Amino acid sequence: MKIINELQLAKELIRFPTVTPIDAGIMKFLEKKLKKLGFKTKILEFKEKGNAPVKNLYARLGNKSPNFCYAGHLDVVPAGNLRDWTVNPFKPSIKNGHLIGRGANDMKSSIAAFVSAISVFIEKNKGFNGSISLLITGDEEGVAINGTKKVVDYLKKKREKIDFCLVGEPTNPNKLGEMIKIGRRGSMNGRLTITGVQGHVAYPHRANNPSTALVRILKELKDLRFDKGTKDFQPTNLEITKININNTADNVIPGLAYASFNIRFNNMHTSNSIKKKINKILKKVCNKTKSKYKIDYSVSGEAFLTKPNSTTFMIQNIIKKVTKIKPRLSTTGGTSDARFIRKIAPCLEFGLVGKTMHKVDEAVSLTDLKKLSLIYSKVLKNYFK
Residue 317 is predicted with a pLDDT of 98
Are 178 and 42 in a shared domain? yes
Same-domain status, 326 and 290: no
> Distance (Å, rounded) from C-alpha 52 to C-alpha 138?
11
User: Is the residue at 1 inside a domain?
Assistant: no
Distances (CA, A) of 377 to 17, 132, 183, 184, 288: 28, 12, 23, 26, 63
- Domain C-terminal end among 281, 301, 321: 301
Same domain, 297 and 366: no
Taking residues 89-111, what's their average pLDDT? Answer: 97
Distance separating alpha carbons of residues 2 and 59, to the nearest angstrom: 19
- What's the chain's length in residues? 385
Say what the pLDDT of residue 1 is: 64
Per-residue pLDDT, averaged over 103-123, amounts to 97
The catalytic residue among 139, 140, 160, 337 is: 140
b/e burial code for range 115-137 (CB count within 10 A of at least 16 → b): bbbbbbbbeeeeebebbbbbbbb
Is there a domain that residue 108 lies in? yes
- Is residue 167 classed as helix, strand or coil in its secondary structure? strand
pLDDT, tens digit, 9 for 90 and up, residues 180-239: 999 999 999 999 999 999 999 999 999 999 999 999 999 999 999 999 999 999 999 999
Q: Look at residue 302 in the predicted model and tell me its pLDDT.
A: 93
What is the tens place of the pLDDT at every residue in 27-46?
999 999 999 999 999 999 99
Q: Which residues pair with 27 in a beta bridge?
A: none
Residue 193: CA count within 13 A, CB half-sphere = 7
Q: Could you give the CA distance from residue 369 to residue 100 in angstroms, rounded to a whole number?
A: 12
Mean predicted confidence (pLDDT) in 155-168: 97
Chain segment 276-303, per-residue pLDDT in tens = 999 999 999 999 999 999 999 999 889 9
Residue 252 sits in the same domain as residue 177? no
**Residue 142 half-sphere exposure toward CB, CA atoms < 13 A:** 25
Whether 169 is a known active-site residue: answer no
Determine, yes or no, domain membership for 95: yes
Query: 123 and 70 in one domain?
Result: yes
- Taking all residues of the chain, what is their mean pLDDT, rounded to a whole number? 96
Amino acid at 296: D
Q: What is the pLDDT of residue 229?
A: 96
pLDDT above 90 for 264 = yes
Query: How many other CB atoms are there within 10 angstroms of residue 145's CB atom?
Result: 16
Alpha-carbon separation of residue 260 from 192, 238, 303, 320, 352 (angstroms): 6, 11, 21, 42, 33
Residue 124, domain member (yes or no): yes
Q: What is the pLDDT of residue 303?
A: 95
On whether both 237 and 153 belong to a single domain, the answer is no
CA dist 185 → 106, 167, 256, 303 (Å): 20, 16, 32, 4
pLDDT at 73: 98
* Structural domain includes residue 237: yes
Composition of the chain by helix, strand, coil, percent to 5: 30, 30, 40
Which CATH number covers residue 225?
A: 3.30.70.360
Give the per-residue pLDDT at 335.
85
- Percent of the chain exceeding pLDDT 90 equals 96
- CA atoms of 326 and 321, how far apart (whole Å): 8
Domain boundary among 262, 284, 301: 301
103: left (phi over 0), alpha (psi -120 to 50) or beta: left
Where in the sequence is the domain holding 200, given as residue range(s)?
186-301
75: annotated active-site residue: yes
Among 258, 284, 301, the domain boundary falls at 301
In the chain, how many domains are there? 2
Does any domain span residue 224?
Answer: yes
CA–CA separation, 83 and 201 (whole Å): 49
On whether both 201 and 171 belong to a single domain, the answer is no
> 200 pairs with which residues across the strands?
252
pLDDT band at 2 (very low <50, low <70, confident <90, very high): confident
Which among 23, 31, 75, 302 is annotated as catalytic?
A: 75
pLDDT at 174: 96
The model's pTM is: 0.90
Please check whether residues 37 and 94 belong to one and the same domain: yes
User: Does 89 share its domain with 190?
Assistant: no
Tell me the per-residue pLDDT of 327-350, one tens digit each, with 9 for 90 and over: 999 999 888 999 999 999 999 999
* C-alpha closest to that of 270 among 236, 224, 230, 223: 236
* Domain match, 108 and 13 both: yes
Assess contact for 247 and 270: CB atoms under 8 A: no
